[in-house]
Structure 1
Amino acid sequence: MNKPIQKSDMHFGEFIALMALLMSLMALSIDIMLPAMAQIGQDLQVAHSNDNQLIISLLFLGFSIGMIFYGPLSDSFGRKPAIYLGLSIAIAGCIISLISESYSIMLLGRFLQGLGLASARIITVALVRDLYHGNEMGKVMSLIMSLFILVPILAPALGQAILFIAHWRMIFVFILALSVLVLVWFVIRQVETIHHEDKTPFSLKNIGKNLWLILKNKEVMAYTVMSGFVFSAFLGYLNSSQQIFQEQYHLGVMFPLYFGVLAISVGLASLLNAKLVMKYGMHDMSKYALFTISAVSIIFFWFSSKSNGNPALWQLMVYLAIVLFCFGILMGNLNGLAMEPLGHMAGIGASLVGAVSTFIAVPFGAIIGQSYAQSVLPLVSGFITFSLLSLLVMFWLKHQKDDI
């Protein structure tokens, strides 16, 4: 029988705040950079403005690779050493980006940031799972996510505020200072939550074996691929949002306000989904959301093509609010559906499902972003393509189940 885990003398609210900050570091490292991407590209002599998007894509590439390893590492060596390693890598990457004098060095730093920050995403969930169970775990994760939702709403405005008073490199100083603060806070206050006798030997062979088990499971892979497709369209939005709003629509310093408003729709969807999913189920909620994205995007593409991909700003905002609301419904449900058959290997399963879906999304999201040419049509096409592909995978899976 396992010994009970000491929860330290941390107040419950302090634990929630620390976990929310840990989980938010990745989102912050994306969204706070958006207002500065054009300036970074200009200062580092990027030839084509679309190449600025690699500041986001390389972060996600590192993140997807890191997710494969931190779950098994934490199971073998403990939650705290895995966080120490990951945040140390992220801090090193942040310093490299901060002092970079060429774009290639900047991208190396961003890759390392993503590689390290994957630890915070994976270990946060593991820590909560170690300490809480059942409905209590659900309550804790909901509280963490309610704070996490604030990051994409506020981070672009924070980045823009820093640009008002300082050089873009100060944004990296801010991320660096916050990462160090969180690491020190974690070292001092968070106890280890996995007992020595519960640790499992680290094995690349075991990771490969579990990955093969996931790849062979049609249901897991179908929902993982769907999650990757949906995230591809969203990543295309992240990659091109700064250019669309600041360059195409000339919003300038108002860009963070519009981005934040759209981020609210994702947060509202997550909160609403928690209630509706109990009535309609994850599969039907995902199906309805995909149908909505497909139909609305096809209509909006036809409408936008009449203005050469330059619809009125309010029309674009309404469209994006709808599809991003649907995205907020999809991501939690598709990940939940992918994880449902993996109860016997939930830890490493979460790592591998997250890694595979992100691996899918990074190149496709980059293609959508790189297709930007002063028109919203490539972005809308991305939502059409990947929502329809996801529906095809969903129907294929249903057909497979019906044949059994």
Structure 2
Amino acid sequence: MTSLTEREVPLTGARIDLPVAGGGWRTVELAEPREWAEHPGPYRSRVAFAAAHVAADPWGENVPGAPAAVDWDATLAFRRHLFSYGLGVAEAMDTAQRNMGLDWVAVQELVTRSSEQARAHDARIAAGAGTDHRTDLVSVDDVLAAYGEQVEFVEGTGAQVILMASRQLAAVAAGPDDYLRVYDELLRQVREPVILHWLGEAFDPQLRGYWGSTDIPAATETFLRLVSAHAAKVDGVKVSLLSAEHEIGLRAALPAGVRLYTGDDFNYPELIRGDGDQHSDALLGAFAAIAPAASAALAALDDGDLARYDAELAPTLALSRHVFAAPTFYYKTGIAFLAWLSGHQPGFTMVGGLQSARSVVHLSEAFALANTARLLPDPERAAERFRGLLAVAGAAR
């Protein structure tokens, strides 16, 4: 089967001039929008979550250090968009700017509102529980108490708990035993199986040495000790180290019944596809940007059509790798940018002013790659919006 990148992409006849590094320009012809089939139910072959961003209130004081002002209508509408393609929502994660502008007051309202909406749509939702609401944590006991407060809150909303990696634990832990102590206690307390989240240094430099070592094999050994001891309370593990080799080895070592939710936004097509014996499920920020294509690919997997699966995801990979390029922790800017281009929010604004974290040259390449993948529902409207942004940036032609 010919891949989508090898087919002749139908064009609208309209064009946009995009700035490139060094002061030059290139002309991109706008592709015809594709009619993507909705898939409101879950998939048979894989469990898939999209880690969703929040849309900022354009009238809000969303400047660095200020409390988050959220556009709730746009934020919740975006979650309905994800539900319509059969994706669960991983709520209040790093994609939603946890530790980068989304404060605890906003987190609580976000998880409460999203959980209510998920119930109304019979959709799956999991939400992050961490320790970021406290700034006075100086001991392992403090961290454990803070985790317990957030776990209790998330469970109270009806969302599945995702135990997020804690900057505060990374700061106070003396070694692997401190990590095991905290997570052992939490996993004894939770009511239902959770998702464990191992977020790598590329996504948050303050998590360097998580699980008690900067040596990944040693950290993995500690992680596996924990999972094996509490397999009945672990639905799955979400690993974001951007190493396909590590993920393949880790999922082979997991206890039976524990899922590996890939967080590898560089290699997700091969990891979700699997090798015939094992596969990864998905919990990806990238899926928020490519939801229609992800849906088409997962539907193909359900049908056993691997060639169509490959073809559906092939054009999305270059876009994801660009959005998540170093410094990777600014990928949220690309997710919000693509949502704005696609009409899912009224403006390209982010809490904490994070829309400034990527250059117009970077965003221009994101526009071009989304266009190639035919992920812009209205390419001419997207081009009009982007031309306005280029003009404000002083990069209009």
Determine if the TM-score, normalized by the shorter chain, exceeds 0.5. Answer: no
TM value normalised by structure 2: 0.29
Higher relative CO (Cα under 8 Å, sequence separation at least 6) belongs to 1
Bigger strand fraction: 2
Bigger helix fraction: 1
TM value normalised by structure 1: 0.29
